[in-house]
């Protein structure tokens, strides 16, 4: 038995949706009730770093394992298992076709992952996390897989992860096949198409959310009447306007749809029974701050959006940095926004560019 340890590492970026995914039509295959669209943020700021290793010398009794941010993490869940199974099946096919290849598909996997930003706090850790997990193992197994194919696999781990395999502006097409083979992401535009775009991340709380995205959206699908309206008309309209706004680099439209869609998503959370509240008083203060900034500028220069957590992401254009970042800092002075990196000013992380 060889002691050789095979190893591959990769990083993956966070993406923050401007038209939100919220709702599953098939929880087992992780298929969404609606298409969604996001912006991939620079890995220089927020990223997951994952190393996958395997060896015939790893005891089979230990099985596969994941160390997440230094702590053992449960990977027995059906969604992580689906990712591992898909990747192993592809590796096994390569091994069957070429008997000189080591049988990596049969070795236990050790995964070590670290997020350099809060985990499970509404800053898309599951997106960066599963994108990195899938790509690290695909690299380890030397799979000839395209980003689209990896996107299809990552989707089964966490829906939003399918969008983190691409940079720039990314759509997740919901697809209509029952087996989910057409439900994956594609790039709508490269980051360089709109080089002025920036994101400001306001970390209101780094604490783990009370209701996970997975369980929150299932409760919404089961109980909210407003949600039916959202997926039937609101999201399809938002997707169409958003794709046009990005193609035309129309910030006013981009901003309006971003804010409306975030509001619509949080309204369906409030309409869930019992209701789910992801935003808090500081989140609402951030919304008011954006309104003040836009009023002062006399045009829309900033757009807020909130995922399933209280933390705000503000999209703006580089040319408006002073009006947005400067004013934001002043308006929110005194608000308890905490921070998660000492380099930040009160949790404000200015000027994150986009990832190609």
Cβ(31)–Cβ(24) below 8 Å: yes
Size of site (CB under 5 A) for Co ion: 2
Closer to ligand DP6 at the Cβ: 187 or 213?
213
Q: Could you count the other beta carbons within 10 Å of the beta carbon of residue 356?
A: 14
CB of 126 to Co ion, least distance (A): 3
CB of 335 to Co ion, least distance (A): 25
3-state secondary structure of 204: coil
156 binds Co ion (CB under 5 A): no
CB of 166 to Co ion, least distance (A): 17
CA separation for the pair 95, 54 (Å, rounded): 15
Contacts of residue 296, Cβ cutoff 8 Å, sequence gap at least 6: 323, 327
Cβ(36)–Cβ(163) below 8 Å: yes
Residue list 244-303, contact with ligand ADP (CB under 6 A): none
The entry of ligand DP6, Co ion, ligand ADP, none near residue 20 (CB within 5 to 8 angstroms by kind) is ligand DP6
Which residue, chain included where needed, has tokens 């299809």?
A: 152
Residue list 136-175, contact with ligand ADP (CB under 6 A): 158
205 binds Co ion (CB under 5 A): no
Element (H, E) at 5: strand 5-13
CB of 20 to ligand ADP, least distance (A): 12
Instruction: Give per-residue burial for 155-194: e unless 16+ CB within 10 Å, then b.
Output: bbbbbbbbbbbbbbbbbbbbbeeeebeebbbebbbebeeb
Closer to ligand DP6 at the Cβ: 211 or 335?
211
Residues near ligand DP6 (CB under 6 A) are 17, 20-22, 30, 36, 126, 158-160, 213-214, 307-308
> Which span sits near ligand ADP by CB under 6 A: 16-24, 279-287, 304-312, 323-331?
304-312
Sole binder of ligand ADP in the list 52, 54, 68, 174 (CB under 6 A): 68
Sole binder of ligand ADP in the list 43, 213, 238, 268 (CB under 6 A): 213
């Amino acid at each position: 038995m060889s002691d050789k340890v095979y190893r591959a590492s990769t990083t993956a970026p966070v993406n923050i949706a401007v038209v939100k995914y919220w709702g599953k039509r098939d929880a087992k295959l992780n298929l969404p009730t609606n298409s969604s669209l996001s912006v991939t943020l620079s890995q220089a700021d927020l990223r997951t770093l994952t190393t996958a290793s395997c060896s015939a010398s790893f005891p089979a009794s230990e099985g596969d394992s994941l160390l997440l941010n230094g702590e053992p993490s449960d990977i027995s869940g059906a969604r992580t298992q689906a990712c591992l199974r898909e990747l192993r099946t592809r590796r096994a096919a390569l091994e069957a076709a070429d008997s000189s290849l080591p049988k990596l598909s049969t070795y236990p996997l050790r995964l070590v992952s670290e997020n350099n930003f809060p985990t499970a706090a509404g800053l898309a850790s599951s997106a960066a996390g599963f994108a990195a997990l899938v790509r690290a193992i695909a690299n380890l197994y030397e799979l000839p897989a395209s980003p689209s194919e990896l996107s299809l696999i990552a989707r089964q781990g966490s829906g939003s992860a399918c969008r983190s395999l691409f940079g720039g502006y990314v759509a997740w097409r919901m697809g209509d096949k029952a087996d989910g083979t057409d439900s994956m992401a594609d790039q709508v535009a490269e980051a360089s198409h709109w080089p002025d775009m920036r994101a400001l991340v306001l970390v209101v709380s780094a604490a783990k959310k009370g209701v996970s995205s997975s369980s929150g959206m299932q409760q919404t699908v089961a109980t909210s009447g407003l949600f039916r309206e959202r997926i039937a008309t609101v999201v399809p309209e938002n997707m169409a306007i958003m794709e046009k706004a990005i193609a035309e680099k129309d910030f006013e439209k981009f901003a309006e749809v971003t804010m409306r869609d975030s509001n619509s998503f949080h309204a369906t959370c409030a309409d869930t029974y019992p209701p789910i509240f992801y935003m808090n008083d500081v989140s609402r203060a951030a919304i008011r701050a954006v309104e003040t900034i836009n009023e002062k500028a006399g045009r829309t220069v900033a757009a807020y959006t909130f995922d399933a957590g209280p933390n705000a992401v503000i999209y703006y254009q580089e040319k408006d940095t002073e009006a947005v970042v400067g004013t934001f800092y002043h308006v929110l002075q005194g608000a308890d926004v905490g921070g998660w990196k000492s380099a930040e000013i009160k949790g404000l992380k200015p000027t994150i560019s986009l990832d190609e």
